[in-house]
Structure 1
Amino acid sequence: MKERIERLKKLTYIPQNDIAWLIEQAELSVKQREIIEENKRQQEITVHQFRQTQEEIRHLSGESRRHKKALEKIITNLNFAIQVAQNELDGAAE
């Protein structure tokens, strides 16, 4: 495309106004294509980051559930140990 633009710039039998307009349109088209390609690239990056984030959220949610269950077991065991100690204290006091 850029080669064509340069070739058009060198032509002398096309009126200057027309050639200037053609060049402007061609350059605009190239810029628009570059912008579209960059937007597509950014969109792909965003989609990839979104999917990674979703996976991380799923992972952390599962980890959080496992930690919560482990803490519930620890609390249950501690409550049981406290109850046993309380019973022993009550038995020793009698």
Structure 2
Amino acid sequence: MKERIERLKKLTYIPQKEIAWLIEQAELSVKQQAIIEENKRQQEVTVLQFRQAQKDIQQLSGDRKRYKQALEKIITNLNFAITVAQNELEGDGK
């Protein structure tokens, strides 16, 4: 393609066939540029979605940790209540 372009640069008159080829190449270039721009846009969207997913995972991990701590406290309190109840029952039985 470079050779053909260099040859065309040297011509003072460009035949219709060569003009059609140049137009075709320009149209292809425009299409390629549009595809490149669309790919860049899709990459940006993907990066944003990935970052949002990372934030969501971090938030869910934090929520999980808080729920686990709360559940552990509830279990500890229930175990304590069970122990108190057992002690009371044993005290009534003596």
Task: With the length of structure 1 as denominator, give the TM-score of the two structures.
Answer: 0.83
- Structure with the bigger RCO (C-alpha within 8 Å, sep 6+) is 1
- Aligned residue pairs total 82
Kindly provide the CA deviation profile for residues 18-53 of structure 1, in whole angstroms up to 9, marking residues without a partner as x.
112111100000000000001101111110111111
Long gaps (5+) in structure 1: 1-12
| 1:13-92 mapped onto 2 (5 Å cutoff) | 14-92=14-92
How far off its partner does 1:14 sit? 2.8
How far off its partner does 1:16 sit? 2.4
How far off its partner does 1:15 sit? 1.7
Long gaps (5+) in structure 2: 1-12
Residue 53 of structure 1 aligns to which amino acid in structure 2? Answer: A
Task: With the length of structure 2 as denominator, give the TM-score of the two structures.
Answer: 0.83
Structural RMSD (CA) = 1.0
